[in-house]
Amino acid sequence: MKVKRYVAGDLPEAVQKIRSELGKDAVILNTKEIRVGGFLGMFRKKRVEVIAAVDEGAAKPAPGRRPLRRNSSHPLRQN
């Protein structure tokens, strides 16, 4: 499992960074508003801290096994 911390101006910007680096299967674990920079506690900027993770092992099929392929002409039957 790969876990990374991102700091961005807003949540959509953070999600865009996460998808570009970790992929579409990444999940957000935590979000928090933080303040960075400034001088003596003044003039700080608001930022969003996002913790995201992706399971690297789940995205790849096991060696020697082929992924399940569904045929559109024969849908799976449910009992």
The tens-digit pLDDT sequence of the chain (79 residues) is 999 999 999 999 999 999 999 999 999 999 999 999 988 888 999 999 999 999 987 655 555 656 556 555 655 555 5
For residue 42, the cross-strand partners are 39
Q: pLDDT at position 41, please? A: 81
Exposure letters 11-29 (e unless 16+ CB within 10 A, then b): eeebbebbeeebeeebeee
Cα–Cα nearest to 55, from 30, 33, 23: 23
- Sign for the CA dihedral angle at 20, 25, 26, 29 comes to positive
Q: How far is CA 34 from the centre of its chain?
A: 19
What is the token pair recorded at 47? 């930022």
Q: pLDDT at position 67, please? A: 59
